[in-house]
Amino acid sequence: MTQDQWKAVEEYVVDRLLPADEVLSTALAESDAAGLPQIEVSPPHAKLLQLLARSIGARAILEVGTLGGYSTIWLGRALPEDGRLVTLEYAEAHAEVARGNLARAGLEKVAEVRVGPALDSLPELVEEGAGPFDLVFIDADKVNNPRYVEWALKLTRPGSLIVVDNVVRRGAVVDGSGDDPSVRGTRETFDLVAEHPRLDATAVQTVGGKGWDGMLIARVTD
């Protein structure tokens, strides 16, 4: 199998199952125009997140890593009218793009974009009593993924889902001898989840237009 074949299959899936959406297309275009890196989730993976949120009847969602708000729109659309979404973004420039995209999607009253290091914002959410969140999607700097999962556990309830993106790293996750900080952080995340008594988890490998990677999906238990 080749990257071209993975991309072709992804395009087929999008064509057959994901109707054209001007709001989402514009969100990607606005992000590109602003010079944001093209590291948002793919459309099929974004739809998977939306289906997960809808399947558990999510009313409150937390996202760590906003970028231009593409995945935020998908998640926000899974919520009921009185639902709420908090998304954490490190860079103010990215947050401004995201706010514009969310407003265009009609989600400005549902989604709150908080700016600053997530490891500062997460304790603030705990102090505010912002939880529990029904779904937490983590797609930020991989070095801190273990800490993000630990804070997510403080902000969720039994039955909540915690989803961590980019956990396969083109297969590099199996090599414990490397010095890539993102791989080390990912392996630490696997260790944390595997050993934690309140998490029941799996991970799935994915291929597509963005290459070979995967998602970790954990359910918070009693």
The predicted-structure confidence for 4-26, as pLDDT tens digits, reads as follows 999 999 999 999 999 999 999 99
DSSP β-ladder status, 211-220 and 199-208: antiparallel
Q: What is the mean pLDDT of the chain?
A: 97
What was the pLDDT predicted at 178? Answer: 86
Q: Is the pLDDT of residue 29 over 90?
A: yes
**What is the rounded distance in angstroms from the CA atom of residue 61 to the CA atom of residue 160?**
10
What was the pLDDT predicted at 96? Answer: 98
Q: Are 152 and 121 in contact (CB under 8 A)?
A: no
**What is the rounded distance in angstroms from the CA atom of residue 217 to the CA atom of residue 203?**
6
State the CATH number of the domain containing residue 152: 3.40.50.150
Number of folded domains that form the chain: 1
pTM of the model: 0.97
Domain that holds residue 73: 3-220
Alpha-carbon dihedral 55, 58, 64, 68, rounded to 10 degrees: 80
**What is the rounded distance in angstroms from the CA atom of residue 123 to the CA atom of residue 71?**
23
The predicted-structure confidence for 124-148, as pLDDT tens digits, reads as follows 999 999 999 999 999 999 999 999 9
The predicted-structure confidence for 83-100, as pLDDT tens digits, reads as follows 999 999 999 999 999 999
Is omega for the bond preceding 117 within 30 degrees of 0, making it cis?
A: no
**What is the rounded distance in angstroms from the CA atom of residue 144 to the CA atom of residue 52?**
24
Confidence of residue 73 (pLDDT cuts 50, 70, 90): very high
What was the pLDDT predicted at 52? Answer: 98
